Amino acid sequence: MVTTSDRRTESPSATHGGDLAAVRRSLLAQRVETPSWGFGNSGTRFAVFGQPGVPRDPFEKLEDAAEVNRLTGICPSVALHIPWDKVDDYGKLKKAAADLGLRLGAINPNAFQDADYKLGSICHHDPAIRRKAVDHLLDCIAIARQTDSHLLSLWFADGTNYPGQGDFRRRKRWMVESLAEAYRAMPADMRMLVEYKFYEPGFYHTDLSDWGVASLVCRELGPQAQVLVDLGHHAQGVNVEHIVALLLDEGRLGGFHFNNRKYGDDDLIVGSINPYELFLIFNELVAEEANGGGRDVAYMLDQSHNVEAKIPAMLLSVLNVQHAYAKALLVDRAALRAAQEEGDVVAAMQVLQQAYETDVRGLCADVREELGGARDPLAAFAGSGYAQRKAAERAGGRQMSWGA
C-alpha cells in the first residue's frame, strides 16, 4: 500500500471491514463538533498563556472554527460556553455562523467560576445559590432555543475537599431536584448531556464522580437525559471502552468530549497519548452502529491548547478522530464474532490489530477531498497565510480566554 498522505493512495482492502463503499459513506457522514473555547487563550491553574491572533469575541471564534471546517469538511457545528460566549443578539451570532457555513451546537452552562460557586452550585448547601445555578441553566435553555441548539451539555465542579464538609445524600437530592427543573423546561427535541469527573476541583469527592452516578441521575430525569463521556475524566487504568459499551447497551450514551490524558484531566490532543484506546472506543461505537443504534451520539472536542497553536491543534484532533473511526469501520465483524464464539483469544485480538494497523490516511484524504476539504489540512493551513492575516487583523483589544 502507498502510505504517503499528500496524494491519492490505494484504499484499504475491503476484506478488513466488508463493504468499502459503506465505509466511505460512513466517513462522509461523520461530524465532529469543535468547542468555541478551544480557540481562545487557555492555560493551567498557574497561568493563562496568550497567542497572536486569538479571537477577541465569539464572532472571531466562529471564523477560526469555519477554517477548521473548510479544511476538514466534517466540523460544521461549534459548541458555545455561557457566559464566555455571551452576546447581546444570539440571532446575529446564529446568522454569522450560517454565513460561514456553520451552525451553533451544544450550549455549555458555566456554574463553576462565579464566586458564589466556591462550595458548589446545584449541590450547594444554600438554596439561594442553588436557585442561581438553576436560573443559569434555564437561561441557557432559552439561548439554545434562540440558536436552534439541541444539546445542553452539563459539567459541574460540585464536590468537597474534606470528609464531613458536606452530606453526600442531601447533595445528591439537591442535584436531582435542580436538574429536574431544567429538564422540565427543555423542549422535546433537546437532550441533556450529563458529564462526570472523578476528581478536581473537589479532591475528597465530586458529586458526579463517575458514569454510574451520571447514569443514575439520567434515569431519574427521563429519556432526554444521557451521559457524556469525557476521555480525560477517568482514573488511571479505567477501561473507557467498556463504559462506552455499557452505556450504549442501556441507551444512555449521549456524547463525547474527545481529548487525551497521561495523568489526569490533561485536555491533550485526542489520540496523542493512547491512540489504541481511541480506536477501541470507536470499535464499540461502530459495533453499535452495525446493530442499528448509536446514531445520535454527539462527537465533540473539549481540549485546552495551552502551548500549541490553536487551529493546527484542532485540525490534528479532528484528523485523529477521523482516522480512529475509519480504522474501526474496517474491523472484520464477522471474523471477530467467529473468533469470539470459538473462544480463540489470539485470533480475536488479531482482527482488531489488523484494522488498527491499516493505513487509512489515503482513504480519509479522499473523503475530505470529496467533502471539499484539504487532503492535508495541516499543510494547507500552514500555507494559507490565515494565521498571519488574523494576527494582524486582531492586533489590539482583549483576547478571549477562560472566563472571558
Domains plus CATH for the chain? 30-330 (3.20.20.150)
Please state, in angstroms and rounded to a whole number, the distance separating the CA atoms of residues 194 and 268. Answer: 21
pLDDT tens digits for 327-381? 999 999 999 999 999 999 999 999 999 999 999 999 999 999 999 999 999 999 9
- How much is the mean pLDDT over the chain? 94
Please state, in angstroms and rounded to a whole number, the distance separating the CA atoms of residues 115 and 138. Answer: 20
pLDDT > 90? residue 80:
yes
| Residues sharing a CB contact under 8 Å with residue 297, sequence separation 6 or more, in sequence order | 248, 253, 254, 255, 256, 285
Which cell numbers hold the place of 102? 456553520
Least confident of 124-128, 292-296, 382-386: 292-296
Report the predicted TM-score, pTM, of the whole model to 2 decimal places: 0.94
| Residues sharing a CB contact under 8 Å with residue 10, sequence separation 6 or more, in sequence order | 1, 2, 362
pLDDT at 18: 55
pLDDT range class, residue 7, cuts 50, 70, 90: very low
pLDDT tens digits for 253-273? 999 999 999 999 999 999 999
pLDDT > 90? residue 294:
no
Residue type, 102: L
Please state, in angstroms and rounded to a whole number, the distance separating the CA atoms of residues 276 and 271. Answer: 8
pLDDT range class, residue 404, cuts 50, 70, 90: low
Closest Cα partner for 214 from 223, 225, 205? 225
Helix (H, G, I), strand (E, B) or coil at 24: helix
Least confident of 10-19, 38-47, 82-91: 10-19
Q: What is the dihedral of CA 312, 315, 317, 322, to 10 degrees?
A: -160
Please state, in angstroms and rounded to a whole number, the distance separating the CA atoms of residues 217 and 175. Answer: 9
Which cell numbers hold the place of 357? 494497523
Q: How buried is 343 (Cβ within 10 angstroms: 0-12 exposed, 13-18 middle, 19+ buried)?
A: exposed
Q: Per-residue DSSP letters for 165-217?
A: SS-HHHHHHHHHHHHHHHHHHS-TT-EEEEE--SSSS-SSEESS-SHHHHHHH
pLDDT > 80? residue 15:
no
